[in-house]
């Protein structure tokens, strides 16, 4: 991975912030076990679904919801004992168990833990609901890396934690992009761009935090299939795709600037435009479009799909606690499979 000049993230040390009272009750239901500061954050794509495959920038936001972890070593035993208290959508943990176990093993091996000589007890918790599209696997890997380092009495740099998270992500994705574990480690906003060599990650700082709502359609789509469909259409009609790509490049350039300025009204408008581009790419679906329209109708200043599309997640920009609660209630009333409140920044 390519880092900013000098390999140092020009980002202030993150401090723990008190969650808005409006979301606390639901977070307690979702994450009863909030154990420590060994955290990895979830993420959402703000701008760039599918276009990012073709080496143009995307903007990704870590959310305030997190996976937490605690690790205990027991001498004289062997193997791994896991207790997974993360909230999750139905079926997620069963579907992902083999990949999750492999990821845990990769993180432990990377950090020099020999489970043939000591037992490792691992407890996952936190308030990030494990659902496709939110970066749950990376959040777990990063949280685990932090907890292992603590149990070993080691003080690792954020870059070293990030690298351990990346190694764990290989259990889920084979050759991960690195974007999910980087967002899980550092939080905040990231500008990501693929290149012919290593991908570029640049941190972006928000002046103030902003409330969002994200919701699930309850539909899981195959990322490889959707990406393949877009590629096929691109090859069949390159002029059509290039016209969309040029519109997106202008959009993301302005989006980056407005995010830094905290111009939420314009950011919301650009999110709406990005969703329209996704519709034209044929990666949205009726269920996503319906939830996006419900959020806008309830007052969200911007709403779009986030991630693979044809199911999965949508997000709405809802500055202010009152607006956040109103939009969340509207999405629940409209039948969203799951709805979450959190903030960016």
Catalytic-role residue among 20, 68, 180, 273:
180
> Which of 144, 44, 26 is CA-nearest to residue 87?
26
Answer for the pair 318, 296: CB distance below 8 angstroms, yes or no.
no
Q: Which positions ≥6 away from 5 have C-beta within 8 Å?
A: none
Q: What is the rounded distance in angstroms from the CA atom of residue 201 to the CA atom of residue 11?
A: 13
Alpha-helix residue ranges (DSSP H) falling in the chain: 21-30, 92-110, 136-152, 158-173, 179-186, 223-236, 238-261, 264-280, 286-297, 321-333
Please give the Cα distance from 133 to 331 (Å, whole number).
18
* 3-state SS string for 87-127: CECCCHHHHHHHHHHHHHHHHHHHCCCCCCCEEEEEEEEEC
Known catalytic residue at 84: no
Active-site residues: which are they?
Answer: 180
């Amino acid at each position: 991975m390519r880092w900013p000049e000098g390999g140092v993230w020009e980002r202030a040390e993150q401090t723990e912030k008190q969650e808005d009272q409006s979301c606390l009750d639901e977070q307690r239901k979702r994450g009863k076990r909030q154990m420590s500061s060994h955290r990895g954050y979830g993420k959402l794509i703000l701008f760039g679904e599918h276009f990012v495959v073709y080496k143009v920038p995307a903007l990704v936001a870590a959310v305030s919801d997190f996976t937490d972890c605690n690790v205990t070593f027991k001498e004289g035993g062997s193997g791994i004992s896991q207790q997974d208290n993360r909230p999750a959508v139905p079926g997620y943990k069963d579907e992902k168990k083999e990949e999750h176990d492999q990821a845990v093993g990769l993180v432990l091996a990377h950090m020099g833990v020999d489970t043939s000589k000591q037992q490792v007890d691992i407890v996952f918790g936190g308030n990030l609901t494990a659902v496709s599209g939110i970066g749950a696997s990376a959040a777990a890997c990063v949280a685990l890396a932090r907890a292992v380092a603590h149990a070993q009495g080691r003080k690792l740099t954020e870059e070293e934690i990030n690298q351990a998270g990346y190694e764990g992500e290989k259990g889920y994705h084979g050759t991960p992009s690195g974007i999910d574990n980087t967002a899980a480690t550092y939080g905040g906003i990231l500008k990501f761009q693929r290149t012919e060599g290593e991908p570029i990650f640049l941190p972006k700082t928000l002046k103030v935090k902003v409330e969002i709502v994200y919701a699930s359609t309850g539909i899981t789509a195959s990322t490889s299939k959707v990406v393949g469909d877009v590629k096929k259409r691109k090859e069949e009609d390159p002029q059509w795709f290039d016209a969309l790509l040029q519109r997106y490049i202008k959009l993301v350039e302005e989006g980056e600037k407005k995010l830094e300025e905290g111009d939420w009204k314009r950011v919301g408008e650009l999110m709406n435009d990005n969703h329209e581009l996704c519709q034209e790419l044929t990666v949205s679906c009726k269920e996503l479009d319906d939830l996006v329209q419900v959020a806008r109708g309830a007052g969200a200043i911007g709403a779009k799909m986030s991630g693979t599309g044809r199911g999965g997640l949508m997000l709405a920009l809802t500055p202010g606690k009152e607006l956040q609660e109103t939009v969340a209630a509207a999405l629940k009333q409209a039948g969203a499979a799951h709805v979450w409140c959190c903030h960016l920044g």
